[in-house]
Structure 1
Amino acid sequence: MKYCLNCDWWTSETDEPAARVRSRRAIEHHVETGHTIDSSEGVVPPQLPDVPHEVFVHDLLPSHSGD
């Protein structure tokens, strides 16, 4: 599976069995939009946790208190 990290675009073996065609579609999506494409062995795109953006980013950033 190939999927976009910026929008809901994706393609999988279910939609297109040929890996070459999936790769071409991913490249075309990147060229048209400038979005980042990633690959996964799964059959559905990975989903971010359903939490507020600020909480998610806060958990990823290092603590300023030295913890």
Structure 2
Amino acid sequence: MKSARIGGNPHRLRERAYMPTGDQLDAIAKGFRALLEQGFSLPDETRAWVENCEAVKARLPKTPPKAG
């Protein structure tokens, strides 16, 4: 049995198919935040990472606040 193969480098094709790395990390941070809010215990390093992500997002939002 032969299998169809998509042309090109499979590593590059997968790389392009995934969400951007920053969006992936954002999703992971949100998942950890949800676990913390539900009372789950996470390692200190993970909590510190989530807090750092939230601080960066607060300091440097994707869209600047509207002047007004």
Question: What TM-score comes out, normalization by structure 2 length?
Answer: 0.28
**As a proportion of its length, which structure holds more strand?**
1
Higher relative contact order (CA 8 A, sep 6+): 1
**As a proportion of its length, which structure holds more helix?**
2
Question: What TM-score comes out, normalization by structure 1 length?
Answer: 0.28
